[in-house]
A and B are shown apart, each in its own frame.
Chain A
Amino acid sequence: MNEVLTYSPILIEGTITSITLTIASAILALLVSFIVGLARFSRLRSVRWSAVVYLEFFRGTSAIVQMFFMYYVLPLLGVNFSPIMAGILACGLNVGAYGSEIVRGAVQSVGRPQHEAAISLNYTSYQRFLYVLIPQAIPMMVPTFGNLLIELLKLTAVASLITISDLTFMAQIIRAQTALTLEPFLVILIIYFCISSVLIAITNYIGRKVSKGRDTIQAGGD
């Protein structure tokens, strides 16, 4: 164990990389979720279809494959990403596809009368979504987004395979240098568990905040 402790600087560095990767991809994923999720409600068929194609493509091919594709194949086509960029893009775009379904589902589940009320107030569709539907949909999205955030954190471990020096990568380095196996992997499992647990606590807190005083959502719809 002491031997692993001498490696704590690189473990800390790895933890920071993993967290950075998670946060950066989470921001990208959130943007993608809303853009693709709301595109499903567009009046233009082409926009709706592009959203579906995006969704099926990123959900249908494995995240790991996407990451390797971005890292190994896109440079051949003249698009160069640093490993960390490829990691953020692959994680963000992949999780964004799952997130778009959360956004779509939540917006759809806002009661029909709310749609009608907005229309009868002569709101434009932009106003209808921005002021009526999305604010009511957000409390419903938070718990599911929380789960997705954990999936995202776990996905970042895969980025170690495209040479990003995250926690998992660091554990492999320690294993290679010290021939210890139990300690490095146990330590990073515990670190991952702690990060996940903190993320869960944060989303639960946000969940409580946004749903405060909104107990009437379900009833208000009917």
Chain B
Amino acid sequence: MDWSWLVVQDVMPKMLAGLVITIQATFGGAILAYALGLLLAILKMSKNKPLAFSVYWSSEFVRRTPLLVQLYFLFYVLPDFGIFLEPMTAGIIGLGLHFSTYTSEVFRAGIENVPKGQWEAAKSLNYTPYKTMRYVILPQAIPPMIPPLANYLITMFKETPLLSAITVVELFNSASIYSNSNYKYLEPMTLVGVFFLLVSIPAAIIANRLEQKYKPEKVR
């Protein structure tokens, strides 16, 4: 089995088109995961115990079951209930929903790590709950959250090949379709790996920088 540059030339445009879809899915999923994660975090910390309890366990259910099965669920089951989703939409919802359960833990930890005195200070200044969050808690809670949230972005990027299972033609699927119709597996599959490395290694370096930048100052 020899490496053929002709195959590379042939498959490259298809894969670049796939890469665009992969990046769209990653960012679409990430935006949903961050927004929904913040909402889940707030609900989990709610004073209403039954609400907090049910939100906690539903998010644990999502977190403890495979993304692939959840994608199948969105793609095959929802149409029976009259909800038809485009593969890409189902994919973004699946990614976003699955990873919101992870990001919600980041948000929760971030908010809970703000010292209690800050809440009390805001209260004694007669801040409304909105003002407390907006001006006191979030400005302190957000910087330490940035590195883990960036890491989940990278993780989501690496999970996007799963969308191929529900017929989204992203980077991996574009190579896979080419492979299956031309019986050329070596080049396309290797290139997929290379593409992933090309994106995820620089991304990991950036995430590492962020981690250094937002490292909590040691107070002792």
Contact = CB atoms under 8 A, between A and B. Distances in A.
Contact of A60 (B76, B80, B197): B197
Interface stretch (A80-88, A115-123, A130-138, A187-195): A187-195
Contacts of B72: 168, 171-172, 185
B162 interface: yes
A171 B172 CA distance: 23
A196 interface: yes
A69 B176 CA distance: 11
Contact of A62 (B161, B185, B201): B161
Nearest to A68: B189
Given A171-B69, A185-B69, A197 B77 contact: no
Interface of B: 1, 61, 63-70, 72-73, 76-77, 79-80, 158-162, 165, 172, 176, 179, 185-186, 189-190, 192-193, 196-197, 200-201, 204
B177 to A, nearest CB: 13
Contacts of A181: 76-77, 79-80
A196 B65 contact: yes
B197 A57 contact: yes
A189 B192 CA distance: 30
Interface string A59-85: 111111110110011001100000000
A90 interface: no
A160 interface: yes
Shortest beta-carbon contacts, A-B, top 7: A157-B66, A196-B64, A154-B66, A64-B161, A76-B1, A62-B158, A60-B200
A175 interface: yes
Interface of A: 56-57, 59-66, 68-69, 72-73, 76-77, 150, 153-158, 160-161, 168, 171-172, 175, 181-182, 185-186, 188-189, 192-193, 196-197, 200
Nearest to A199: B64
A186 to B, nearest CB: 8
A60 B172 contact: no
A69 B69 contact: no
Contacts of B61: 189, 193
Contacts, number: 111
A184 to B, nearest CB: 9
B77 A182 contact: yes
A62 B77 contact: no
Contacts of A200: 64
B69 A60 contact: no
Contacts of A158: 66, 68, 162
B68 A65 contact: no
Contacts of A193: 61, 64-65
Contacts of A185: 69, 72-73, 76-77
Contacts of A77: 1, 186
B189 A60 contact: no
B193 A65 contact: yes
Given A61-B193, A158-B162, A73 B69 contact: no
B67, B70, B72, B190, most chain A CB atoms within 10 A: B72
Contact of A72 (B67, B73, B79, B179): B179
Contacts of B192: 61, 65
Contact of B66 (A60, A62, A168): A168
Nearest to A182: B77
B206 to A, nearest CB: 13
A77 B160 CA distance: 27
Contact of B172 (A56, A64, A182): A64
